Chain A
Amino acid sequence: MEQTWKQAKAAFAAIAVPPLAWLLLFFLVPMAVVWVYTFGENSGPTTIDFAGTFSNYTRALEPLFLEIFAKSVVIAGITTLMCLVIGFPVALAIAFASPKAKAWLLLLIMLPFWTNLLIRTFALIAVLREQGYVNFTLEWLWNNASGFMTLVGLQPLGEYEPLTLLYNNFAVIVGLVYVHLPFMVLPLYSALDRMDRSLMEASLDLGAGHLKTILLVVVPLAAPGIASGILITFIPALGSYLTPDLLGGTDSQMIANVIERQFKRANDWPFGAALSFLLMYLTFIAIALQALVQRRSDRRS
């Protein structure tokens, strides 16, 4: 028999109050302060007047910043899509692995989290740069192929030209996919793992192929997991600033880089706050969409 919280108010309060107090004190209150800043005005080098003005939002909605928002959405969107395409087969494989292998595979997925993001990003620089491991490997293959061609009497391939893999948008997306992949795999795995296997067996028995079963049975059943995976990949990717800063080129500015500079060099906290909250409103919209998907799938089952 399921108990509602009303039957054990004291126990519920004991468990719920500390995290709620934490949330209120260290999240909602600071957020409220920043939200108030969005309507403020700089009145001196370190002082902000609460002016009740919308000028920060008006400025944040100028085409310049909207374009940067749009670009950030596109980069985060590509990242999320790549994570989904790569993460879904991985999650499927883990869900169908033997219990012992499952534990190891999940550990492998989570292992990168034990290393600081900054260190992982610097490691990626060492992998991708012109004097990096990818180019070393390609150069080795190139030289061997070249040697082989001279051996069989063909023209050698010539000097190896290292690929430019770093300091462009490609590098930013590689970095973001690398960092965010676990965020996608874990919710997908938990959705796939919970799934009723007999439905898949029924689909296969009734003549659908493997691909058809995955597309028509597994994917719809895993829709809530996919939606939450997309959400928790997309939101942090949208607000990332370290990756574009370190791996990006002159064309890789994302909105969080602009926000960071408002709080530092520009010393314009109200405007930085307004940009941050625009990002936040976008996040709310994304969460609302996800809730919608969730509700629709709940209704269906």
Chain B
Amino acid sequence: MAKGKYLQGASRRSLLKQFGAGALAISFSGGLAACGRGGGGPTVNVHNWATYTGETTNDDFREATGTRVNYTNFASNDELFAQFRAGNQGYDVIVPSNEYVTRMSQAQMLQPLDKTLIPNAANILPEFQDAGFDPGRVYSMPYTWLCIGIGYRKSKMPSPDFVPNSWRYLLDSPQFSQRIAVLGESADLIRLAAKYKGHSINGIPEAMLSEIEQMLIRQKPHIKQFHSDTGQDLLASGEVDIVMEYNGDIAQAILEDDDLAWTFASEGSMQNQDCLCIPVGAPNVEAAHAYINYVLDGAPGAGIAEYIQYATPNRAARDLMPDSYKNNPIVYPPPVEMAKLEYGAFEGDEVSRRYEEIFTRISAA
């Protein structure tokens, strides 16, 4: 997530909006600095992706509960995990993605949630009430979800009604040679290649891994960049014509350029879910629960969804949203596409290292 990585959080939202939000964040934290230290009172330390909350969520929370929100950012799950290897630096609420909920809970970085303090969990849609990566929702509450698909420029397709609805165009075909960008994250790339080959994104057998490696080495000369979640920018600036990218990013780019379009891959894809969790050693566990409960409420949840434009797993919030959002087929994939989405599971450090080495070999080839 390079722009994620370097300009924090642009991965989760478009760059344009980010600058506006950045100005807001500065004035907001300035306000905090002015009244925070002297005013005292309880604080909850929320560590989230940048610009990944509503415009007034944190202020509203303070008004509702008297607890001040100290909102800090991380740029990628890997960064979050690396931060917590050194222990909890004082965070109360963090927002890792599905796979990292498993990874962090296995590393004893998360504490079980006290469900009695989160009555608004009832607002969560039935399909999100439980999760394979966190059975019984012991450690996590769903915050938003997203999936990977294909963004493309309509005018650069061979014919006006051509839809590149297969991973083949990105991973196994010279058709768009040097006009392709794919995610440069080892696990995402390898898993989607497995999906293309008709396998689940989890439990990829060894033989298929070497097939995937060969295929991607063959495809590499046709790929312009292994992008770090900047696909929407590469597409918008005309650098490439077809990208592998998250749905929210492409939905944002389409708003600004109607020559861009989105399609799901017919082979299926990967779904991600960002989750609210409380890390071990959180200084203010009670306020952390209160914060989680608050954002799972209808109106605050809608405020967040409206601002960040990602799919919410919160029914109460979704009901409050305008139709243009609820019926956006990019943000909310139709059932037939939903059925083909899978969560990437955390399969242990050994598998992560294996994927990483394969990606290193592909890049070095």
Q: Do A and B bind?
A: yes
Q: A residues touching B (Cβ–Cβ < 8 Å)?
A: 42, 44-46, 64, 67-68, 71, 118, 122, 129-131, 164, 166-167, 242, 245-246, 248-251, 253, 257-258, 261-268
Q: Which residues of B contact A264 (CB under 8 A)?
A: 76, 78-79, 81-82
* Inter-chain contact B81/A250, CB cutoff 8 Å: no
How far is it, in angstroms, between the C-alpha of A262 and the C-alpha of B353 when the chains are bound?
8
Further pairs besides A250-B226, A253-B363: 8, Cβ < 8 Å = A44-B107, A68-B364, A130-B237, A248-B225, A249-B224, A250-B225, A253-B364, A266-B352
A250 in contact with B353 given A64-B360, A130-B237 (CB within 8 Å)? no
Chain A residue nearest to B5 (CB atoms) is A245
A257 CB, nearest partner CB in chain B, Å: 8
**B356: contacting residue among A67, A122, A166, A266, CB under 8 A:** A266
How far is it, in angstroms, between the C-alpha of A167 and the C-alpha of B230 when the chains are bound?
13
Chain B residue nearest to A42 (CB atoms) is B349
Interface centre among A71, A122, A166, A246 (most CB of B within 10 A): A246
Q: Is B47 an interface residue (CB 8 A)?
A: no
* Inter-chain contact B360/A267, CB cutoff 8 Å: no
* Inter-chain contact B356/A253, CB cutoff 8 Å: no
Q: Is B115 an interface residue (CB 8 A)?
A: no
* Inter-chain contact B81/A267, CB cutoff 8 Å: yes
* Inter-chain contact A250/B186, CB cutoff 8 Å: no
| Sample (7) of A-B pairs whose CB atoms are under 8 Å apart | A64-B360, A118-B7, A245-B2, A253-B363, A265-B352, A265-B355, A266-B352
8 A-B pairs with the lowest CB-CB distances in the bound complex, closest first: A264-B78, A45-B107, A253-B363, A266-B356, A266-B353, A167-B225, A46-B85, A250-B220
* Inter-chain contact B78/A265, CB cutoff 8 Å: yes
**A267: contacting residue among B76, B178, B238, B349, CB under 8 A:** B349
Q: Which residues of A contact B352 (CB under 8 A)?
A: 265-267
* Inter-chain contact A261/B2, CB cutoff 8 Å: no
Q: Which residues of B contact A263 (CB under 8 A)?
A: 82
B84 CB, nearest partner CB in chain A, Å: 8
Chain B residue nearest to A59 (CB atoms) is B357
* Inter-chain contact A245/B353, CB cutoff 8 Å: no
B contact patch SS? helix
A261 in contact with B360 given A250-B223, A267-B81, A267-B349 (CB within 8 Å)? yes
Contact with A along B12-27 (1 / 0, CB 8 A): 0000000000000000
B246 CB, nearest partner CB in chain A, Å: 17
How far is it, in angstroms, between the C-alpha of A261 and the C-alpha of B76 when the chains are bound?
12
B170 CB, nearest partner CB in chain A, Å: 12
Contact with A along B216-229 (1 / 0, CB 8 A): 00001101111010
How far is it, in angstroms, between the C-alpha of A164 and the C-alpha of B178 when the chains are bound?
10
Chain B residue nearest to A62 (CB atoms) is B357
Chain B residue nearest to A164 (CB atoms) is B178
* Inter-chain contact A261/B356, CB cutoff 8 Å: yes
B194 CB, nearest partner CB in chain A, Å: 17
* Inter-chain contact A245/B220, CB cutoff 8 Å: no
Q: Is B191 an interface residue (CB 8 A)?
A: no
Q: Which residues of A contact B239 (CB under 8 A)?
A: 129-131, 166-167
* Inter-chain contact B349/A45, CB cutoff 8 Å: yes
B353 CB, nearest partner CB in chain A, Å: 5
* Inter-chain contact B224/A250, CB cutoff 8 Å: yes
B228-277 residues at the A interface, CB under 8 angstroms? 228, 237-239
Q: Which residues of A contact B225 (CB under 8 A)?
A: 167, 248-250
Q: Which residues of A contact B79 (CB under 8 A)?
A: 264
Q: Which residues of A contact B238 (CB under 8 A)?
A: 130-131
Q: Which residues of A contact B221 (CB under 8 A)?
A: 250
Q: Which residues of B contact A42 (CB under 8 A)?
A: 349
A265 in contact with B349 given A45-B107, A118-B7, A249-B225 (CB within 8 Å)? no
How far is it, in angstroms, between the C-alpha of A129 and the C-alpha of B235 when the chains are bound?
12
Interface centre among B7, B185, B220, B356 (most CB of A within 10 A): B356
* Inter-chain contact A68/B360, CB cutoff 8 Å: yes
Q: Is B44 an interface residue (CB 8 A)?
A: no
How far is it, in angstroms, between the C-alpha of A167 and the C-alpha of B226 when the chains are bound?
9
Chain A residue nearest to B86 (CB atoms) is A46
Q: Which residues of B contact A64 (CB under 8 A)?
A: 357, 360-361, 364
Q: Which residues of A contact B363 (CB under 8 A)?
A: 250-251, 253, 257
Q: Which residues of A contact B7 (CB under 8 A)?
A: 118, 122
* Inter-chain contact B186/A268, CB cutoff 8 Å: no
Q: Is B28 an interface residue (CB 8 A)?
A: no
